[in-house]
């Protein structure tokens, strides 16, 4: 009977040692997983710190929109002035041509 008890004790010790070994491996695996998750969290935290905030983005967007509107109105005024100058030159050249024609006609009929 003692032999059976000793064998059972020996089997129990072996089983407990195997169980402890398995638990240790599982704990190491879980620890590695948590390290990986923590690295991922740290990466997300670093990205969050480097991203622009919503308030800053809105302020920059509104500033840029205002600048674009100002530049657009300047371009419109410049184009308007250019069109006016071109029309002025056309009127001037047309007037000179008409005056030249009248002078030529007067000179033709006078001679």
Element (H, E) at 7: helix 2-50
**Residues 15, 108: Cα–Cα separation, whole Å:** 132
Give me the mean pLDDT over the 24-30 stretch. 92
Does residue 77 sit within a domain? no
Does residue 59 sit within a domain? no
Does residue 32 sit within a domain? yes
Q: What angle do CA 73, 75, 78 make, to 5 degrees?
A: 110
Residue 14: both structure tokens together:
């072996």
| pLDDT attached to residue 55 | 92
| pLDDT attached to residue 2 | 81
In the chain, how many domains are there? Answer: 1
Does residue 40 sit within a domain? yes
Does residue 105 sit within a domain? no
Q: With cut-offs at 50, 70 and 90, classify the pLDDT of residue 50.
A: confident
| pLDDT attached to residue 24 | 93
Does residue 100 sit within a domain? no
The domain of 7 spans 1-51
Q: What angle do CA 99, 110, 93 make, to 5 degrees?
A: 10
pLDDT tens digits along 86-100: 888 888 899 999 999
Does residue 42 sit within a domain? yes
pTM of the model: 0.42
């Amino acid at each position: 009977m003692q032999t059976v008890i000793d064998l059972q004790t020996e089997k129990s010790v072996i089983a407990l040692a195997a169980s402890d070994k398995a638990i240790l491996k599982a704990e190491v695996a879980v620890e590695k997983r948590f390290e990986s998750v923590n690295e991922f969290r740290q990466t997300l935290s670093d990205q969050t710190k480097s991203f622009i905030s919503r308030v800053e983005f809105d302020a920059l967007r509104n500033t840029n929109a205002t600048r674009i509107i100002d530049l657009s109105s300047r371009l419109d005024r410049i184009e308007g002035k250019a069109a006016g100058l071109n029309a002025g030159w056309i009127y001037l050249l047309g007037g000179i041509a008409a005056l030249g024609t009248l002078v030529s006609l007067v000179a033709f009929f006078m001679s």
